């Protein structure tokens, strides 16, 4: 199959590896330890069918970023390295009733307002003061807490993956240290590759699906990319240490793949903690949405801002797939990969049932982003998964060594993009040159049929941590 590279099963590999990439992307993927990590994941107990890397894949912790693996629920494992430190890092796309021309008249004012109202960067905390009870309620209820407090609408909830709340969450399984790190961070973007970007719909590739998603040419949309902040990072660290202590790692091809059997007490505890932290991330993106609405309302009285969709790309989920004619439930690890369910899946919002799940693939700062739709083909060949972004090609260290901040600012200015960045460091680490070509990543997804292009988005304003 075109754009498909098979890594044959050998040694301790229980299944083959599969890399979905064009020759150009495969060459970039081959430059770090991604392929080795794909092979390592293929050695994990209970893995089903194949170990997958997406077109944007690059070296990560244990699993590659852009890694997908499904595990048998009786024989399989759960690995924090297969979800990532930023549990439920994800993206949310907001659609508006503004067009590009109207927005540009107020762009500088709105960007400042958003920067004032939405803390970003290292060390900037939230204006929200949460009690211990509030935090535990958020870990349990996710975005539903925001609905109760007036920060969300019913439509926001129904257009969020899992309705913004994963059910088996248990706040008691999240350490006090993790809670202390998250308590002051609700409604904040953070640093790293997180951002808020105001974009316009540059091109529509599928009119029918775009209409269902409420998208039209030159419409202003807002993309939010953030996750569970320090809460998620600490929870991942806590459970990696627990799994190393209880189960060791000598039997694994890589210490970073520390794991626990899904059926074990510790495995279940991690799943409960992961769900609680994921709920915090859903609430985080919801509070940011509320603050976006408040900021725009100051300059556009009749503004209407709706959630098109919100999807996690660092998560493990129990999902049903048909393998060799038999429907089975697996634990699917997606790390830097987006779920891409096709039409008719019960997990999707009612109004998207006929066209499939919205897939949101942001580019690197200053490049295009895309909206795609999920497919039945993805359910067959990639456990309903596709890419989550452009994917790094330079490490943060190499980016800092080779890119100058002014160079990035000038490039953005030439492309008519305004930016507010929390630091010069963040600016160079997340420069477009540090990433793969998102157009090529999305083209591969579309050609394979694991996500079909609906619309292309172009940035006008960016807030970076």
The predicted pLDDT at position 122 comes to 66
**Nearest CA-CA partner of 437 in 1, 82, 68, 27:** 27
**Into which CATH architecture does domain 4-74+88-464 fall?**
Alpha-Beta Complex (3.90)
Q: Confidence band (pLDDT; 50, 70, 90) for 125? A: low
Whether the per-residue pLDDT at 124 is higher than 80: the answer is no
Whether the per-residue pLDDT at 34 is higher than 80: the answer is yes
Task: Please answer whether residues 288 and 280 qualify as being in contact, where contact means their C-beta atoms are separated by less than 8 angstroms.
Answer: no
Structure tokens at 222: 């807002």
pLDDT exceeding 90 applies to what percent of the chain?
A: 86
Residue 91, H or E segment: strand 90-99
C-alpha 318, offset from chain centre: 17
Residue 316, H or E segment: strand 314-323
- Residues with Cβ within 8 Å of 58's Cβ and at least 6 positions away in sequence, in order, are 29, 32, 34, 64, 65, 66, 391, 392, 393, 436
- Residues with Cβ within 8 Å of 33's Cβ and at least 6 positions away in sequence, in order, are 59, 64
Q: What does pLDDT average to over the chain?
A: 95
Burial of 376 by CB count in 10 Å (0-12 exposed, 13-18 middle, 19+ buried)? middle
Whether the per-residue pLDDT at 323 is higher than 70: the answer is yes
- Residues with Cβ within 8 Å of 90's Cβ and at least 6 positions away in sequence, in order, are 161, 225, 226, 227, 281, 285, 310, 311, 312, 313, 314, 315
CA triplet 349, 352, 353: central angle to 5 degrees? 85
- Residues with Cβ within 8 Å of 133's Cβ and at least 6 positions away in sequence, in order, are none
Any idea what DSSP says for residue 126? -
Whether the per-residue pLDDT at 180 is higher than 70: the answer is yes
Is the pTM of the predicted complex or chain greater than 0.85? yes
Antiparallel, parallel or unpaired: β 326-335 and 314-323 = antiparallel
Q: List the single range of 134-138, 320-324, 425-429, 451-455 with lowest mean pLDDT.
A: 425-429
Query: Average pLDDT, stretch 169-175?
Result: 98
Whether the per-residue pLDDT at 123 is higher than 70: the answer is no
* Residue of 428 and 163 predicted with greater confidence: 163
pLDDT in tens, 126-161: 778 899 999 999 999 999 999 999 999 999 999 999
Antiparallel, parallel or unpaired: β 65-72 and 77-78 = unpaired
CA distance 259 to 128: 35
The predicted pLDDT at position 397 comes to 86
Query: Average pLDDT, stretch 204-232?
Result: 97
Q: List the single range of 149-158, 200-209, 375-384, 427-436 with lowest mean pLDDT.
A: 427-436
What one-character-per-residue DSSP string does 145-160 give?
HHHHTTS--HHHHHTB
Residue the block writes with tokens 């309302």: 297
pLDDT in tens, 368-419: 999 999 999 999 999 999 999 998 888 888 888 888 888 888 889 898 999 9
pLDDT exceeding 70 applies to what percent of the chain?
A: 99
- Residues with Cβ within 8 Å of 449's Cβ and at least 6 positions away in sequence, in order, are 375, 377, 378, 381
Please report which residue ranges of 298-395 form alpha helices under DSSP H: 376-381
CA distance 43 to 339: 23
Whether the per-residue pLDDT at 47 is higher than 70: the answer is yes
Q: Which residues are catalytic?
A: 388
- Residues with Cβ within 8 Å of 176's Cβ and at least 6 positions away in sequence, in order, are none
CA distance 457 to 200: 6
CA distance 283 to 232: 13
Structure tokens at 156: 């926001």
- Is 463 strand, coil or helix? strand
């Amino acid at each position: 199959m075109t754009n498909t590279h098979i890594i044959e099963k050998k040694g301790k590999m229980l299944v083959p590896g599969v890399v979905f990439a064009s020759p150009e992307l495969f060459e970039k993927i081959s430059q770090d330890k991604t392929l080795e990590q794909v092979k390592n994941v293929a050695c994990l107990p209970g893995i089903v069918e194949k170990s997958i890397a997406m077109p944007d894949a690059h070296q990560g912790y244990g699993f590659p970023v852009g890694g997908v693996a499904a595990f048998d629920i009786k024989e399989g494992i759960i690995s924090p390295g297969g979800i990532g430190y930023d549990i439920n890092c994800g993206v949310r796309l907001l659609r508006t009733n503004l067009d590009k021309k109207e927005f540009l008249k107020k762009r500088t004012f709105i960007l400042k307002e958003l920067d004032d109202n939405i803390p970003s960067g290292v060390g900037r905390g939230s204006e929200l003061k949460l009690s211990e009870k509030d935090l535990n309620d958020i870990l349990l209820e996710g975005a539903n807490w925001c609905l109760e407090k007036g920060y969300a609408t019913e439509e926001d909830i129904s257009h969020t993956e899992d309705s913004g709340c994963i059910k088996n969450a248990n706040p008691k399984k999240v350490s006090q240290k993790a809670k202390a790190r998250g308590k002051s961070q609700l409604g904040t973007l953070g640093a790293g590759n997180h951002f808020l970007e105001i974009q316009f719909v540059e091109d529509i590739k599928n009119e029918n699906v775009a209409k269902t998603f409420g998208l039209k040419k030159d419409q202003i949309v807002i993309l939010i990319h953030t996750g569970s902040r320090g809460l998620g990072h600490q929870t991942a660290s806590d459970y990696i240490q627990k799994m190393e202590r209880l189960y060791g790692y000598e039997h694994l091809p890589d210490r970073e793949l520390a794991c626990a059997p899904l059926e074990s007490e510790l495995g279940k505890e991690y799943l409960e903690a992961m769900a609680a932290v994921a709920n915090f991330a859903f609430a985080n993106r919801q509070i940011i949405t509320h603050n976006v609405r408040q900021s725009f309302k100051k300059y556009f009285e009749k503004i209407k801002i709706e959630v098109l969709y919100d999807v996690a790309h660092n998560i493990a989920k129990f999902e049903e797939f048909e393998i060799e004619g038999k429907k089975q439930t697996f634990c699917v690890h997606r790390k830097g990969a987006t779920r891409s369910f096709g039409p008719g899946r019960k997990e999707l919002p009612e109004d998207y049932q006929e066209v499939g799940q919205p897939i949101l693939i942001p580019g690197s700062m200053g490049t295009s982003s895309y909206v795609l739709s999920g497919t039945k083909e993805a359910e067959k060949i990639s456990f309903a998964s596709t890419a989550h972004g452009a994917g790094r090609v330079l490490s943060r260290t190499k980016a800092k060594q080779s890119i100058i901040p002014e160079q990035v600012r000038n490039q953005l200015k030439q492309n008519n993009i305004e930016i507010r960045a929390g630091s010069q460091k963040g600016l160079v680490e997340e420069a477009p040159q540090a990433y793969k070509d998102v157009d090529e990543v999305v083209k591969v997804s579309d050609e394979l049929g694991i996500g079909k292009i609906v619309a292309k988005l172009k940035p006008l304003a960016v807030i970076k941590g």
